[in-house]
Amino acid sequence: MKRVTIKDVAERAGVSYGTVSRALSDHPEISEATKRRIRDLCEEMGYVPNMAARGLVKQSTQVIGLIVPDVSNPFFSEIALEIEMTARAKGYHILVCNTTRSTEWEYEAAEQLLRQQIDGLIISPVTPESMARVQELCGSLPLVCMGDNHNGGCTYVSNDNVRGGYIGGRYLTQLGHRQIAFIGGRTTSNTNRLRTEGFRRAMAEAGCEGIVVECPPEMDDNRRYNELAHQFLAARPPVTAIFSYSDRFALGVMQAASELGLRIPEDLSLLGYDNIVYASLPRINLTSISHHKRTLGRMAVNRLIARIEGDTAEYHDILEPELIIRGTCRGIRSSL
Amino acid sequence: MKRVTIKDVAERAGVSYGTVSRALSDHPEISEATKRRIRDLCEEMGYVPNMAARGLVKQSTQVIGLIVPDVSNPFFSEIALEIEMTARAKGYHILVCNTTRSTEWEYEAAEQLLRQQIDGLIISPVTPESMARVQELCGSLPLVCMGDNHNGGCTYVSNDNVRGGYIGGRYLTQLGHRQIAFIGGRTTSNTNRLRTEGFRRAMAEAGCEGIVVECPPEMDDNRRYNELAHQFLAARPPVTAIFSYSDRFALGVMQAASELGLRIPEDLSLLGYDNIVYASLPRINLTSISHHKRTLGRMAVNRLIARIEGDTAEYHDILEPELIIRGTCRGIRSSL
DNA sequence: CTGAAAGCGCTAACAC
DNA sequence: GTGTTAGCGCTTTCAG
């Protein structure tokens, strides 16, 4: 079954194919009558426009690339959904690639997306260094970064991670905790660096020492994170509160705690970051730092489309994080 | 910054651009020396092949469309990840569309994907009827359906939903439950029909009546499902076990139960379906019917690529579901 | 208002 | 081995 092209339609309509093209793109200089006739004919013949061919001449494909670490992570899948919906409403499509946090895959994904002639790229980079390479690769192609894993020189939209780290840390000290650990994300992540910084600031302000546990970069999946939490909890019983780099990791801590017989929040207060939807489940009920993921996705698309349409400015949007209090942190009487 | 094309490279190399094309696609009749020279030059000039242009002549874009209800649903995001990884390993890219369970959106998404000249389409349809329309639209385009929302006439990969419903129902009766409700998915879903059927069969076998609660098709998000569960639980205290159409819905039941002060599993046993990753969280610990989602995604891609590459057979792959026992169902002494 | 024709970047069949 | 050329399906001047 051959695809029906603009030429086939033109032939049946008894006009030149240039006319069909113009009718379809609603050119003003075509009579309403012909337009109507041609459109009906297209419908009838089952004509499907070929965007690739159009892209060739218009130098634009209406396709946006999206590179994320892992869509199966609810944090990213929530964002991905919002991105797809927003983009579609504006006539763009989304080509997704997952990097599984490999900088090589990330670079390769960017290359392949470029080959597909995407009009722009939204990326949540693995590290600032990998982002720099992607930026160079992309040249003047519209590019928007989500998060803080970049070294500047690009439009980005993020949340105030230092502030989030600070708010979280302060909340815990205000509850009376003194032995607080921040269990971090991968050391190569700038986002992690910023959240840690905010946490440290809050600790300093309260005169607490604040333990920071780092997650080695090769530490990949949840299970291994759970092990990390396990080791830490087993070795360090005096900690009364843990602030986790992300909700996902907090779930790992929960698991480890449960395996060690530590009750949350009775024996251990736990605070997450990201406020993924599962944090609000009744049995999880995780207190978390929330940032506006949907807004983030939407803004990323809007900034990108603006760039695609000619806006050359570089924007830096920082969303305000917010503490969502649920049931995993409890106050401690300030003893002594 | 103009993109550098095959012509630019040819000019710099002092050869015709046909030669460059052949060198790049590793044609045997080109001398190794020229190939090497041309490739180095491409590298140096930052040449990026234009897949759209290639697609025009080769009639293939190496892009696969994926239509799912909602990637932010962990069930689909797990599958989506597997699909993307599998496809990428075979040189294909994924263009995703979310339907949010709207049949109109679904159709529109399919149309738009066709315009993008995808080589094939993987879809998890909203209803058998909507699938039929998509099938018609796609004509001879390779198409693979995930799940049971189809009326045949296509390659599909699914899990044995009748069996899953049966296994789940049987498990509950074997635990001694007699007052069991199946809280279903949307009535327009064939998957739901099959799971319900399996459930009924198990009930009949055990001589239980088995209550089936249907979810009206316009009932969309989790919150409303939670309301449904709420109403049901409030009105029907004597039920001792609930088998939920999906884990997501089971989480809604959990929420409702918790709001009504019903403890799980002490007051109410709960069984889910899909075994999403969050089912295994320590605090959730949801007993569930598992099917091999990753395998499903992988097979869908493999079947599709086989079709793209010429295999014309129609395949029906049915994966075997499996009961994963965790902590939300308890045995009841067979009183009286 | 509409037709003719050039060309977007690339591949492949045909020359030499 | 390599050059030449005809399209792939479409948009867009330039004529008329």
Q: Which two tokens stand for residue A49?
A: 């426009």
Residues B3-15 pLDDT 10s: 899 999 998 999 9
B24 contact to strand C (CB, 7 A limit): yes
Distance from CA of B206 to the nearest CA of A (A): 32
Chain D bases closer than 7 A to any CB of the protein = 1-5, 7-13
> Chain B residues with CB inside 8 Å of A278's CB?
278, 281
Positions 29-88 of A with beta carbon below 7 A from strand D are 47, 49-50, 53-54, 56-58
Q: Could you tell me the distance in Å between the CA of residue B124 and the C1' of nucleotide C9? A: 35
Given this model, what pLDDT does residue B227 score?
Answer: 77
CATH topology identical between A1-47 and A161-291: no
Given this model, what pLDDT does residue B82 score?
Answer: 98
Residues B245-300 pLDDT 10s: 999 999 999 988 988 899 999 999 999 999 999 999 888 999 999 999 999 999 99
User: Tokens 């001792």 appear where?
Assistant: B240
Q: Which two tokens stand for residue B109?
A: 């998404």
B16 contact to strand D (CB, 7 A limit): yes
Domain boundaries, chain B: 1-47, 55-159+295-319, 161-291
B220 band by pLDDT with thresholds 50, 70 and 90:
low
Sheet containing strand B180-186, strands side by side: B211-215, B180-186, B241-244, B269-274, B287-290, B322-324
Give the whole-angstrom CA distance, residue B61 versus residue B52.
7
Q: Could you tell me the distance in Å between the CA of residue B314 and the C1' of nucleotide D10? A: 34
Comparing A111-115, A236-240, A253-257, which segment has the lowest mean pLDDT?
A: A236-240
This prediction's pTM? 0.93
The answer to whether A52 contacts B52, with C-beta atoms less than 8 Å apart, is yes
B5 contact to strand C (CB, 7 A limit): yes
Cβ atoms B243, B180 nearer than 8 A:
yes
Comparing A239-243, B57-61, B184-188, B197-201, which segment has the lowest mean pLDDT?
A: B184-188
> Chain B residues with CB inside 8 Å of A251's CB?
281
Q: Which two tokens stand for residue B107?
A: 């159709």
Cite the beta strand spans of chain A per DSSP E: 63-68, 93-98, 120-123, 143-146, 155-159, 180-186, 211-215, 241-244, 269-274, 287-290, 316-319, 322-324
Indicate the class that CATH gives domain A161-291: alpha beta
DSSP string, A97-138: EE-TT-HHHHHHHHHHHHHTT-SEEEE--SSHHHHHHHHHHH
CA dihedral B253, B255, B261, B266 (to 10 degrees): 60
Q: Which residues pair with B155 in a beta bridge?
A: B144
Q: Which residues contact A118 (CB under 8 A, 6 or more apart)?
A: A61, A63, A64, A65, A95, A141
Give the whole-angstrom CA distance, residue A253 versus residue A264.
10
- Amino acid A78 reads E
| Cis amide linkage into residue B282, ω under 30° from 0 | no
**Overall average pLDDT of the B107-122 stretch:** 96
Nearest to A71 among B71, B117, B139 (CB): B71
| Cis amide linkage into residue A321, ω under 30° from 0 | no
* Backbone phi and psi for residue A45, each to the nearest 5 degrees, phi listed first: -85, -5
Give the whole-angstrom CA distance, residue B189 versus residue B66.
19
B6 contact to strand D (CB, 7 A limit): no
Q: Which two tokens stand for residue B308?
A: 């793209």
User: Tokens 């207060």 appear where?
Assistant: A269
**Overall average pLDDT of the B204-225 stretch:** 78
Percent pLDDT > 90 in chain A is 77
Residues A197-213 pLDDT 10s: 999 999 999 999 899 98
Which of B283, B284, B301 should one mutate to test binding to chain A, selecting the residue with the greatest count of A CBs within 10 A?
B283
Positions 262-281 of B with beta carbon below 7 A from strand D are none
Chain C bases closer than 7 A to any CB of the protein = 1-5, 7-13
Residues A136-173 pLDDT 10s: 999 999 999 999 999 999 999 999 999 999 999 999 99
A61 contact to strand C (CB, 7 A limit): no
Residues A29-64 pLDDT 10s: 888 888 899 999 999 999 999 999 999 999 999 999
Dihedral class, residue A285 (left if φ above 0, else alpha if ψ from -120 to 50, else beta): left
Distance from CA of A84 to the nearest CA of B (A): 7
> Chain A residues with CB inside 8 Å of B258's CB?
282-283
Give the whole-angstrom CA distance, residue A252 versus residue A273.
13
Comparing A236-240, A260-264, A312-316, B127-131, which segment has the lowest mean pLDDT?
A: A236-240
**Overall average pLDDT of the B214-233 stretch:** 71
A14 contact to strand C (CB, 7 A limit): yes
> Chain A residues with CB inside 8 Å of B48's CB?
111, 114-115
Q: Which nucleotide is nearest to B38 (CA to C1')?
A: D2
Nearest to A71 among B77, B278, B284 (CB): B77
> Which of 1.10.10.10, 1.10.30.50, 1.10.260.40, 1.10.3720.10 is the CATH number of B1-47?
1.10.260.40
Given this model, what pLDDT does residue A269 score?
Answer: 96
The answer to whether B49 contacts A115, with C-beta atoms less than 8 Å apart, is yes
> Chain A residues with CB inside 8 Å of B104's CB?
none
- Amino acid A67 reads I
Superfamily of domain B55-159+295-319: Response regulator (3.40.50.2300)
DSSP string, B34-80: HHHHHHHHHHHHT----HHHHHHHHT--SEEEEEES-TTSHHHHHHH
Q: Which residue approaches C6 most closely, CA to C1'?
A: A57
Cβ atoms A321, A164 nearer than 8 A:
yes
> Chain B residues with CB inside 8 Å of A104's CB?
none
Asked if residue A223 has pLDDT above 70, the reply is no
Cβ atoms B165, B202 nearer than 8 A:
yes
What 3-state DSSP class applies to B275? coil
Given this model, what pLDDT does residue A333 score?
Answer: 72
**Overall average pLDDT of the A317-326 stretch:** 98
Cβ atoms A75, A276 nearer than 8 A:
yes
Q: Which residues pair with B274 in a beta bridge?
A: B290
Distance from CA of A97 to the nearest CA of B (A): 7
Q: Which residue approaches C7 most closely, CA to C1'?
A: A57
Asked if residue A305 has pLDDT above 90, the reply is yes
**Overall average pLDDT of the A283-290 stretch:** 96
What 3-state DSSP class applies to B244? strand
Q: Which two tokens stand for residue A31?
A: 């009579």
* Cα B238 → chain centroid: 35
Given this model, what pLDDT does residue A218 score?
Answer: 64
Percent pLDDT > 70 in chain B is 96
Cite the beta strand spans of chain B per DSSP E: 63-68, 93-98, 120-123, 143-146, 155-159, 180-186, 211-215, 241-244, 269-274, 287-290, 316-319, 322-324
A56 contact to strand C (CB, 7 A limit): yes
Give the whole-angstrom CA distance, residue A243 versus residue A287.
10
Nearest to A56 among B56, B278, B281 (CB): B56
Cβ atoms A115, A123 nearer than 8 A:
no
